[in-house]
């Protein structure tokens, strides 16, 4: 099964999964921090955290896609450069952020909407920009957002459990890996266009 960007652009399920994993790394990192402060990471707590992050991570690229579809036909000559630039910025920010001290380290594990909604929004902003690039490249958005949402849900649940068990060592590595994946996907899109 393949998802088509345009006649020249395609991405298989494995590549889409890499994008989804890259986008979910911020949520995973925050979920690890939440798990650190929990006395016990129950399935219910893991599912609540996963649903917050998964729903927002799926909704943001869909919103970005819908906002950008009206503009996509007007700038098709530049779409690959725009997608490349977006992924470079997003991935670069994640890579840089992986070496910086994050305020998320001090987050208390409260599952109230007042705490979880801002976290879910903050960790999904990058996905909004990726949704815009999906529109310019004419990706099939429904399968893409489903993959992103489900991947984020699963990784966030795992992040809570890992944070609860193992501690802080995963946070910066997860964010670094996510940034590298998005940068590599940006280069792939650009190279596919330039050599076609």
Give the domain ranges of the chain: 11-195
In this predicted structure, which of 78-87, 98-107, 111-120, 176-185 has the lowest mean pLDDT?
98-107
191 contacts 80 by C-beta, under 8 angstroms: no
Do the beta carbons of residue 8 and residue 77 sit within 8 Å? no
As a whole number, mean pLDDT of residues 8-21 equals 71
Question: CB-based burial of residue 83 (10 Å sphere; 0-12 exposed, 13-18 middle, 19+ buried)?
Answer: buried
Confidence (pTM) = 0.68
For residues 79 and 61, what is the distance between their CA atoms, to the nearest angstrom?
16
> Three-state DSSP class for 46?
helix
The span from the CA of 5 to the CA of 110, in Å, is: 40
- For residue 47, is pLDDT > 90? yes
For position 56, what pLDDT does the model report?
Answer: 95
pLDDT band at residue 3, thresholds of 50, 70 and 90?
very low
pLDDT band at 151, cuts 50/70/90?
very high
> Model confidence at 62, in pLDDT bands (50, 70, 90)?
very high
Q: What is the pLDDT of residue 119?
A: 80
Q: Which of 56-60, 61-65, 95-99 has the lowest mean pLDDT?
A: 95-99
The model's pLDDT over 93-140, given as tens digits with 9 standing for 90+, comes to 777 876 765 544 444 456 888 878 888 887 787 787 788 878 777 778
pLDDT at position 2 is 44
Q: Yes or no: say if 114 and 43 are a contact pair by the CB < 8 Å rule.
A: no
pLDDT value at residue 71: 64
């Amino acid at each position: 099964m393949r998802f088509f960007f345009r006649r020249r652009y395609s991405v298989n399920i494995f590549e889409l999964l890499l994008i989804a994993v890259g986008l979910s790394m911020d949520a995973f990192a925050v979920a690890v921090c939440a798990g650190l402060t929990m006395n016990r990471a129950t399935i219910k707590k893991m599912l609540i955290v996963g649903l917050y992050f998964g729903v927002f991570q799926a909704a943001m690229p869909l919103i970005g896609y819908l906002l950008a579809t009206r503009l996509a036909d007007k700038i098709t000559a530049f779409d690959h450069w725009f997608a490349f630039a977006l992924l470079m910025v997003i991935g670069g920010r994640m890579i840089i952020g992986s070496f910086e001290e994050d305020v998320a380290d001090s987050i208390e594990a409260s599952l109230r909407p007042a705490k979880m909604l801002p976290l879910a929004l903050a960790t999904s902003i990058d996905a909004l920009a990726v949704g815009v690039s999906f529109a310019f490249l004419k990706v099939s958005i429904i399968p893409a957002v489903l993959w992103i949402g489900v991947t984020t849900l699963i990784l966030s649940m795992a992040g809570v459990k890992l944070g609860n068990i193992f501690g802080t060592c995963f946070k910066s590595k997860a964010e670094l890996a996510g940034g590298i994946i998005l940068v590599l996907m940006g280069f792939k899109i650009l190279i596919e266009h330039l050599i076609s």
